[in-house]
């Protein structure tokens, strides 16, 4: 990949960590500098991601660009790799982190622990998307827990302890299976190569038996599915979203849910394809259950933040259905929908945070007629709701349409059922909008609310622009996922032909 490009990619990992160290070492009395410095530190990785859009290598399939010896006598290395899918998810992370800092309110902006934790989270997530071996993937995967523990446990809501412990228990439980799978893979690698090499290049040359492939697929995929989360492993998500601070919810929905799906696309399917072919029907069924379940439960919510949390379960069900189908169109749609959901859910949680700072309530019944006092807010919320629903011309439509079209050839009945989830999405989003924004003001506390200020508009408008851009010009983002999706499709077809 060239020295210059490798250096830029290292910046994506190391600069957020460097920024976190700088913030943590600053004296507390200089609190007025925390937020401006964090914004500046976040602009650097974001600028690198923008620059990479001008490089053709950013559209390519996975390629390892560096490897660092760790335990040389056993051939254990820390490897880093990059692909078009990595680039999109890195770009999504960078813009959401930057906009989260822009949207942070005064109370949080004065806490160097809060600001520094987000930068550490940025470092860990970027590490996952750039990992080139199973060991570094596991290390970065676990590193995500540390900043999220503090963000939720210290700066979360009234029930933050319960939500934080539940989040940690679920995630660590899933990680145990990933660790066992990593060790098992190392044993197989040692028996075939004489080393414990776990980098993706080596793994692609290993010969797994049918039993090994199935066992390893189950181990890795179960751990990743907890993070997605797939029904019925989803119960930690609503509590985590409700109790997390706004910035935590933005990054949790916008980025962290994508880590699990990324692991399945990067590791589970390419290396343990026979296991994928054996169990993908189960994942597809659970995905469709999650689509309908998440949407139905969202309709019944009285807390707007919890409604968006359950909608995330439904939307990630579409992603997993596309992945389970395993063909080019559905895989492209799944990756694109990962990005789309990051943009729309991030914007929705940000908007909920704006109104919560004004009213200190998230109960839908406490609002009504907000369009009268907050017309800009009402218009932006409606636009984002349409994107989440999947209105043609906006980003949500592109991903869901590709997933449904691609999945229909593999799972006709399941695809038909999942399409009903689009209808349910319109019901829960538009009904919530009607109760919060239309009609007369029925609560005197809403009469004096001020509309979005310049800082808030600057924080959310870039996401709206991206929603419209992807919806109108989807071929741009599609060009960055084509090669990754094509390689996975080729592997699946190769094994399907061999088994038949």
Can you give the three-state secondary structure of the chain, one letter per residue?
A: CCHHHHHHHHHHHHHHHHHHHHHHHCCHHHHHHHHHHHHHHHHHHHHHHHHHCCCHHHHCCCEEEEEEEEEHHHCEEEEEEECHHHHHHHHHHHHHHHHHHHHCCHHHHCCHHHHHHHHHHHHHHHHHHHECEHHHHHHHHHHCHHHHHHHHHHHCCCCHHHHHHHHHHHHHHHHHHHHHHHHHHHHHHHHHHCCCCCEHHHHCCCCCCHHHHHHHHHHHHHHHHHHCCCCCCCCHHHHHHHHCCHHHHHHHHHHHHHHHHHHHHHHHHHHCHHHHHHHHHHHHHHHHHHHHHHHHHHHCCCEHHHHHHHHHHHHHHHHHHHHHHCCHHHHHHHHHHHHHHHHHHHHHHHHHHHHHHHHCCCEHHHCCCHHHHCHHHHHHHHHHHHHHHCCCCCHHHHHHHHHHHHHHCCCHHHHHHHHHHHHHHHHHHHHHHHHHHCCCCCCHHHCCCCCCCHHHHHHHHHHHHHHHHHHHCHHHHHCCCHHHHHHHHHHHHHHHHHHC
Write the CA distances from 499 to 212, 268, 479, integer angstroms.
Answer: 16, 18, 31
Which pair of tokens denotes residue 152? Answer: 């939720």
- What is the average pLDDT across 97-106? 86
Which pair of tokens denotes residue 377? Answer: 């807010």
Q: Which residues pair with 303 in a beta bridge?
A: 363
Query: How far apart (Å, rounded) are the C-alpha atoms in residues 266 and 86?
Result: 10
Residue 318 has pLDDT above 90, yes or no: yes
Query: How far apart (Å, rounded) are the C-alpha atoms in residues 67 and 379?
Result: 49
pLDDT in tens, 383-417: 999 999 999 999 999 999 999 999 998 899 999 99
Residue 108 has pLDDT above 80, yes or no: no
Read off the pTM.
0.92
CB of 277 closer than 8 Å to CB of 499: yes
3 band by pLDDT with thresholds 50, 70 and 90: very low
* pLDDT for the residue numbered 389: 92
Residue 322 has pLDDT above 90, yes or no: yes
Which pair of tokens denotes residue 246? Answer: 């706004």
Query: How far apart (Å, rounded) are the C-alpha atoms in residues 305 and 438?
Result: 19
Residue 126 has pLDDT above 90, yes or no: yes
Query: How far apart (Å, rounded) are the C-alpha atoms in residues 134 and 101?
Result: 31
Query: How far apart (Å, rounded) are the C-alpha atoms in residues 375 and 388?
Result: 20
CB of 151 closer than 8 Å to CB of 114: yes
- Give the count of alpha carbons within 13 A of 481, CB side only: 25
Query: How far apart (Å, rounded) are the C-alpha atoms in residues 465 and 471?
Result: 10
* pLDDT for the residue numbered 494: 86
Which pair of tokens denotes residue 456? Answer: 């808030």
pLDDT in tens, 33-56: 888 888 998 999 999 999 888 877
* pLDDT for the residue numbered 1: 46
Query: How far apart (Å, rounded) are the C-alpha atoms in residues 419 and 368?
Result: 31
- What is the average pLDDT across 230-257? 87
Buried b (16+ CB within 10 A) or exposed e, 164-196: bebbbebbeebbebbbebbeebbebbeeeeebb
338 band by pLDDT with thresholds 50, 70 and 90: very high
* pLDDT for the residue numbered 106: 64
Residue 497 has pLDDT above 70, yes or no: no
- What is the average pLDDT across 134-160? 89
Residues 6+ apart with CB under 8 A from 497: none
Query: How far apart (Å, rounded) are the C-alpha atoms in residues 119 and 42?
Result: 8
* pLDDT for the residue numbered 4: 66
């Amino acid at each position: 990949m060239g020295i210059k490009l490798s250096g830029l990619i290292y910046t994506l990992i190391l600069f957020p960590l460097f920024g976190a160290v700088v913030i943590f070492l600053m004296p507390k009395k200089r609190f007025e500098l925390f937020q401006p410095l964090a914004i500046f530190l976040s602009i650097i990785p974001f600028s690198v991601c923008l620059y990479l859009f001008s490089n053709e290598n950013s559209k390519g399939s996975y390629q390892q660009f560096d490897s660092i010896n760790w335990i040389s006598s056993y051939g254990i290395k820390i490897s880093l790799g990059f692909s078009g899918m990595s680039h999109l998810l890195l770009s999504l992370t960078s813009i959401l982190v930057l906009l989260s800092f822009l949207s942070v309110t005064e109370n949080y902006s004065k806490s160097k622990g809060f600001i520094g934790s987000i930068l550490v989270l940025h470092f860990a997530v970027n590490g996952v998307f750039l990992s080139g071996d199973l060991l570094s993937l596991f290390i970065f995967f676990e590193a995500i827990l540390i900043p999220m523990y503090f963000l939720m446990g210290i700066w979360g809501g009234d029930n933050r302890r319960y939500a934080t412990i539940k989040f940690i228990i679920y995630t660590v439980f899933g990680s145990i299976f990933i660790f066992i799978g990593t060790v098992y893979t190392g044993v197989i690698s040692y028996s075939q190569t004489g080393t414990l090499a776990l980098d993706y290049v080596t793994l692609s040359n290993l010969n797994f038996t049918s039993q090994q492939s199935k066992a390893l697929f189950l181990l890795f995929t179960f751990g990743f599915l907890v993070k997605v989360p797939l029904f019925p492993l989803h119960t930690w998500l609503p509590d985590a979203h409700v109790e997390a601070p706004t910035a935590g919810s933005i990054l949790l929905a916008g980025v962290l849910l994508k880590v699990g799906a990324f692991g399945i696309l990067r590791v589970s399917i390419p290396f343990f394809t026979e296991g994928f072919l054996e169990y993908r029907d189960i994942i597809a069924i659970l995905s469709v259950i999650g689509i309908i379940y998440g949407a139905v439960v969202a309709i019944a919510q009285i807390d707007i933040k919890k409604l968006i949390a359950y909608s995330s379960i439904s939307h990630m069900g579409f992603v997993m259905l596309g992945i389970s189908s395993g063909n080019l169109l559905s895989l492209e749609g799944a990756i694109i929908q990962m990005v789309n959901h990051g943009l729309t859910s991030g914007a929705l949680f940000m908007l909920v945070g704006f109104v919560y700072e004004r009213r200190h309530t998230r109960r839908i019944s406490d609002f009504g007629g907000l369009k009268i006092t907050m017309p800009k807010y009402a218009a932006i919320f409606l636009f984002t709701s349409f994107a989440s629903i999947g209105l043609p011309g906006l980003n949500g439509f592109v991903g869901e349409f590709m997933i449904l079209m691609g999945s229909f050839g593999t799972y006709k009945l399941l695809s038909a059922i999942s399409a009903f989830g689009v209808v349910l999405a319109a019901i829960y989003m538009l009904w919530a909008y009607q109760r919060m924004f239309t009609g007369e003001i029925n609560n005197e506390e809403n009469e004096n609310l001020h509309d979005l200020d310049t800082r808030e508009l600057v924080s959310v408008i870039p996401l709206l622009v991206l929603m419209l851009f992807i919806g109108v010009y989807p071929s741009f983002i599609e060009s960055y996922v084509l090669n990754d999706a094509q390689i996975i499709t080729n592997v699946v077809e190769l094994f399907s032909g061999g088994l038949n």
